[in-house]
Amino acid sequence: MIRRALVCLITFGLVACATPPKNPPTAAPAASGAQSPAPKTSANPAETSVERVADVPILVEDFATARANFVRDTAARYGIDPQYIDSVLAQAVFRDDVIALMSRPAERVKPWSEYRPNFITASRISGGQAFLAKHRDALAREEKAYGVPAEIVVAIIGVETSYGGYTGKHRVLDALYTLAFRYPRSGNPARAAYEQRRELFFRDELAQLFALGREEKLDITTLIGSYAGAMGMGQFMPSSYREFAVDGNGDGRRDLFNSVDDVFASVANYFRKKGGERGGWVPGGPVVARAELQAGYPEFNPDTWTPDYTLADLAQRGYRPLEPVAADATATLVSLEGSAGKQYWLGFQNYYAITRYNNSKMYAMAVYQLSQAIAGREIPPA
């Protein structure tokens, strides 16, 4: 990601999962939280949290100029032969299907009661239990090393790629090349800066793909992933692959395509380290707790999922937990439209850590509840 500068600008951290659910969750960037001042709130519940972004100038350059600048800059940045970069780009293909997938109209935001059944099914639960049983020793080893429960790692892989059953069908080089130089434009002036940031994000991911290929000795012309360039069982973008992937089996490589040991360690490492100043997963910490809104209080809908609110803060807003919670806990408030009415949850630091994988409150809750079902624990109705 033109890395540190653009990470707060873009709507992808990892990218949308390769598993093609009926309603794929919308991904968004990681951003570090601040304890004060408190985040703004909105009148209506947000599905994805609103991240602060910086303006970038709208670039006006033809494709040939943009491509030449990319070759020059990537070569200088990563010490790669520009002739090699040029030769690889010569093999890349602009994909109309990638543009179509990226520019498809957004579906209505479904309520939790409709969203959850896309992710938590009997087959996905049983598949996760079988996957966990098959890889129990490796998962236990990484749980001990990183403190991230095995069922959380399994649930992420289940949601992202159906336990490795579907990791995408697009050549990563083509997907990133297309989005780096022909990111779809709506023609709406209000979206111009956003679309510019998106294109720059993918251009940076394309550059990082070259660096990744050199570091991991990968033939980047053969890698297959999602239409947005995410790879492997955990669907890592090139920048996340480079920053968070771990050699879990000690063979000297970080292989997120074929090594489950590397995949488990890398997903756990991502959970622990992704989160900026706010931090990542806290071993042994809670994820969520049910809450209720007392009569006479208006709903509270924070714009971000950072757990910035003390129990006293939330009590002043009319919310109280329905289960034991540590007195010094801080949380965010998550409201969901359930089948039997509104559900209220306190989301703690580990809930926030799940949103760093995909910045959607319903995605995070689906992953957590799937993990609980895989572990054989009871989950509430949608």
Contact by Cβ (8 Å): 269, 295: no
Nearest to 193 by CA among 61, 54, 70: 54
Contact by Cβ (8 Å): 189, 220: no
Q: Which amino acid is at 208?
A: Q
Q: Which residues pair with 292 in a beta bridge?
A: 320
Where does residue 124 fall: left (phi above 0), alpha (psi -120 to 50 degrees), or beta otherwise?
alpha
**What is the distance between the alpha carbons of residues 367 and 159, in angstroms, rounded to a whole number?**
7
Q: Which of 160, 216, 323, 337 is catalytic?
A: 160
Among this protein's residues, is 107 annotated catalytic? Answer: no
**What is the distance between the alpha carbons of residues 350 and 281, in angstroms, rounded to a whole number?**
5
**DSSP state letter for 171:** E
Q: Which amino acid is at 210?
A: F
Q: Which amino acid is at 237?
A: M
- 323-355 CB burial, b ≥16 within 10 A, e <16: eebeeebbbbbbbbbbeeeebbbbbbbbbbbbb
Known catalytic residues are: 160
